[in-house]
Amino acid sequence: MMARQRIEDLIAQFQHLKILVVGDLMLDRYLYGSVDRISPEAPVPVVRVSSEKKMPGGAANVAANLRCLGAKVDVAGAIGDDSAGTDLLDSLRELGIGVRHVMRNPGIPTIVKMRIVAERQQVVRVDWERPATVSRTYSSSGLAQLRKAVTRFDGLIFADYGKGGVELPVIVPLLDAARQTGIPTALDPKDNHCLRLNGITLATPNCKEAHVCAGLPARTHIPGNPLSDPGLRNATRALQRLWNPALLMITLGAQGVYLVPKGAKPELIPTRAREVFDVSGAGDTVISTSLLALAAGATHREAALLGNCAAGVVVGKLGTASCAPDELLQAMSGHQSEE
């Protein structure tokens, strides 16, 4: 339980913090419409489009979540010199997110994920991207500038989507700069791109990512009580060796968050019951809120509670979404004490 004043104090600190997000930048496009017939050309629905929306995706959505919570944010990563890249930069600037560390590379396309939604249901997703082998890393001079810039931030997030933007040559010098400065760092990993790090503050894999990165068979659900699951314990030990995190948060969907502070016993934080419309970007909300809370002075458990509740807010919305401070405060009402 957390005292209401404590929750308010932590959330109030968010606006005074500046966070850098490094990772795979994407543009999310949504086409909204309705369906009233099946196509005569194939057994698929015909969607009559009524509106379109473009918004930051991938690592850019992590930045959008941080900005929505009140923090000052800059993003770093590579995008193409194309119309989608321009749309992404425009959407980031509209949110007040700094883009000075974004590279435009004419040799790569901006990653675009388009979702067609009808009657609040996603019909299909269409992706535009090149293979992950395409380089999205920094030049030596660009990396040196970014390493120097890290010292001006209060927190650093690596948002990895396995698209080539989060590689060890980028992570190691930035992580070293953050460690010297004493700012918290966080990694949201991808199960097809497992990195060996040393000394990250926070790692937030989901169930599948935790097992695959640990070298174990993929699992998307834990039957029974996660606290007594031997496979999850084995994955935890392997990830502690792989990343040496101060705090490991394995998100388990409807089962909640499996919380493992370094040197302490695991704890399960249950998910707050609510209607789920769309899980898109829920992991982005967890890492952004939790890292921001740690930067504000929260304990490990407080950061996990805030991150878990913020994710509960966004899955109740349609499309890639964020959680505002007042929504987070309301969602935390069940974790408040009378103190």
* Residues taking part in catalysis: 284
How far apart, in whole angstroms, are the C-alpha atoms of residue 88 and residue 48? 25
Q: Which two tokens stand for residue 284?
A: 């982005």
Give the containing element (helix H, strand E) for 240.
helix 230-243
Q: Which two tokens stand for residue 168?
A: 């060890």
Q: For residues 27 and 54, is the Cβ–Cβ distance under 8 A?
A: yes
How far apart, in whole angstroms, are the C-alpha atoms of residue 61 and residue 57? 4
Give me the helices (H) in the chain, please. 4-13, 59-68, 83-94, 140-150, 168-181, 207-213, 230-243, 282-295, 300-314, 325-331
121-128/155-159 β-pairing: unpaired
C-alpha distances out from residue 244 to 66, 132, 252, 292, 293, Å = 25, 26, 21, 20, 20
Amino acid at 178: A
How far apart, in whole angstroms, are the C-alpha atoms of residue 149 and residue 241? 29
